[in-house]
Copies of this chain bind each other. A is one copy, B any other.
């Protein structure tokens, strides 16, 4: 039972107080897929140019990520983003966004993807997210991400899209923007009423809050010794969360859900986000093992239980 991940596969240029890399593998779908791959088989739908390097294919393949749905546009260039982080790494400034082949991304699911039960829709135009879901038959669990631009300028289209979703993962600013409520409890109630009965509000270094039914669960952010590069941490959170649910074969319908499993999914999200920050870009995933993941999960228990 595989997870379908749709979104950007890109090259990033990143500068943090710890260093600078001009061009490295990035993109939301890349991070989500890498993080989820520790829990469940993953199949990616994305688009790249013919400048996309074989070493990057190799990295994804080494995590057994199915790339049948990775479209390669002849003569095209891969989406490129560059940004620089503030000294405390809580803010970043975008230096460059070249959409390139991503501008015309119109995801088509390979036949071998269509009957899979789990679908994670990364941050792309809501109408495209909807079209992907429509290509699936018998999807059991759908959820995804969005951003301020779609919330403000494509609100109707976004609402049409997320009303079909089982879960939504957004950050606190987006939750406030989408709901019009500052208080996160009130914001969550309004967003849940839009469709996704399960909502995860990400709060960066402060962790995340899960809302499901009338209950909520708060996971702290892992207290890292050094944050090297926060790029992709939110996407890795998403990958850990949906990866865990998929790997356990869970769905989120009220009648069947074990809330304890949903809590564990959030903690695995926090765990994967924390590892992501330990090296530049996706570098941490070159060596990360499931044993390290489970050891950090245990650390979370030790740091939060009372």
A contact residues vs B (CB 8 Å cutoff) = 87-88, 182-186, 203, 206-207, 209, 215-220, 223-227, 260, 263-264, 266-267, 300-306
Determine the main DSSP class of A at the interface with B.
Answer: mixed
Number of copies of this chain in the oligomer?
A: 2
On whether the beta carbons of B303 and A216 are closer than 8 Å, the reply is yes
Contact between A260 and B217, CB atoms less than 8 A apart: no
Given contacts A206-B203, A207-B220, A220-B218, contact A227 B303 (CB under 8 A): no
Let me know if A267 and B306 touch, CB within 8 A. Answer: yes
A218 touches B209 (CB 8 A): no
Residue pairs across A and B with Cβ atoms less than 8 A apart, 11 shown, are: A183-B224, A185-B223, A203-B206, A207-B220, A218-B220, A218-B223, A218-B303, A220-B220, A260-B306, A267-B306, A300-B306
Residues from chain B with Cβ under 8 Å of A300 in the complex? 306
| B209, B220, B266, B306: the one within 8 Å of A223 (CB) | B209
Q: How far is the CB of A296 from chain B (nearest CB, A)?
A: 13
Q: A210 to chain B: closest CB distance in Å?
A: 10
Contacts of A88 in B (CB 8 A): 182
Contact partners of A216 in chain B: CB under 8 A: 223, 303
Do B304 and A183 touch across chains, with their CB atoms under 8 A apart?
Answer: no
In angstroms, Cα B302 to Cα A82, docked, is: 41
Contact of A206 among B186, B206, B304, B306 (CB under 8 A): B206
A203 contacts which chain B residues (CB < 8 A)?
206
CB proximity of A107 to chain B, nearest CB, Å: 34
* Bound: A260/B183 CA distance, A: 31
Contacts of A186 in B (CB 8 A): 225
Cα–Cα, bound, A207→B206 (Å): 9
- Chain B residues lying within 8 Å of A266, measured Cβ to Cβ, are 306
